[in-house]
Amino acid sequence: MMTAEKLKTIKDDFPALAQLVHGKPVTYLDSAASSQKPQIVIDAMRHLMETHYANVHRGVYSFSAQTSTEFEAAREKVAQFLNAKSEREIVFTRNATEAINLAAACWGRAFLKAGDEVLLTQLEHHANIVPWYFLKEQLGVVLKTVPILQSGALDMDSFDKLLTEKTKLVAVTQMSNALGTVTPLKDIIAKAKAAGAKVLVDGSQGIVHLSADVQKLDCDFYAFTGHKLYGPTGIGVLWAREEILNAMPPYQGGGEMIEKVTLDKITYKEAPYRFEAGTPAIVEAIGLGAAIDYVLKNIDYAEAAAHEKALLTAAEKRLADIGGVKIWSQAEERAAILSFTIDNVHPHDIATVFDQLGIAVRAGHHCAQPLMQALGIPATVRASFAVYNTMDDVERLAEGVQKVKKLFA
């Protein structure tokens, strides 16, 4: 477990958490939507803009050369963090949504045809549903969905039945953004590979709390977003095997991604640059690199997971003891996210009351409407924990629930 001293040191690294909201200490429980930022990330981005900002790759002057070096260093940091074989396997995108859209538009349109099957799950965020639905509309690709069990875990018996020789891709979340359910990726990927299918993993939540070693996972695509990993918005990553990337045609055209342009013929660069048309998110990429530096220096994944599990367990127990509270995931493998409802109170009303108490949570369908339909509810309240949360935050969450119950009794 994380010591109280280390936890305080980490929390102090995130300046926004020292504020008051409506006169109350901030209790930030919405890291699944977007995490707070450590000072090192804020400083790295400000330093670049204050000292030697310039566009990358094309300038021969000092500012551009230095910025280009730092930008590509960020790509190398991502590659090392994911244990990719090469930084050439790292494509910078705006976020995980764009990363998955890129895979669907470039790989999907090139290698899928009418009748080919893409296997999804009921746990998916819309970002890992809608891009594949486009291919259903445009190409006649068949989408199939693995249901969940009553516990919130994936129904792996159904997965086994739905996975056939027609399955060309399995697109699956590493960890549900709405329930915290952790999917059995090792089993899923092994079975998919045995059936001849490729595997895309949405690691937006998983990379923060679980291993993101792409070689160990043995997936074919891995997408994540920087703003959940203590980095800035506007920067995400698509990792894919280099041979897959270089077999994919680009889907956006412009500067940077070309080798030569004439009015009669255009040739494209190798990956990753063929997928990075135009001026990239320079400051944001360097901010992501700083966030990775912070994680590697300050956060031990096993220690952080144990800390977050203790918070989740304590929060579940406190809310269950109050009564009239329904917790929506009992999956054996779950992490850092507590999705709940209170009898006869709309989730948005709960979140509004919480805000007056300085408690930040998310209320809604969490961009997972098929999952909400499977659960038979329109929305939940989601409290999500990060490495900087404490048992005091758990207690404030419980106090908030008690306040709501009194107000709406």
Catalytic residues: 367
Half-sphere exposure of 230 (CA within 13 A, CB side): 27
**DSSP secondary structure code for residue 408 in this structure:** T
- Rounded to 10°, the helix 282-298/39-51 angle is 150
Q: 404: exposed, middle or buried (C-beta count within 10 Å: 0-12, 13-18, 19+)?
A: buried
Dihedrals phi, psi of 201, to nearest 5 degrees: -110, 125
Tokens of 365: 């369908």
With 0-12 / 13-18 / 19 or more C-beta atoms within 10 angstroms meaning exposed / middle / buried, residue 221 is buried
Quote helix, strand, coil % in the chain, to nearest 5. 45, 20, 35
Long-range Cβ contacts of 134-141 (<8 Å, 24+ apart):
134/104, 134/105, 135/104, 135/108, 135/109, 138/109, 139/108, 139/109, 139/112, 139/113, 139/114, 140/113, 140/114, 140/115, 141/108, 141/112, 141/113, 141/114, 141/115, 141/116, 141/117
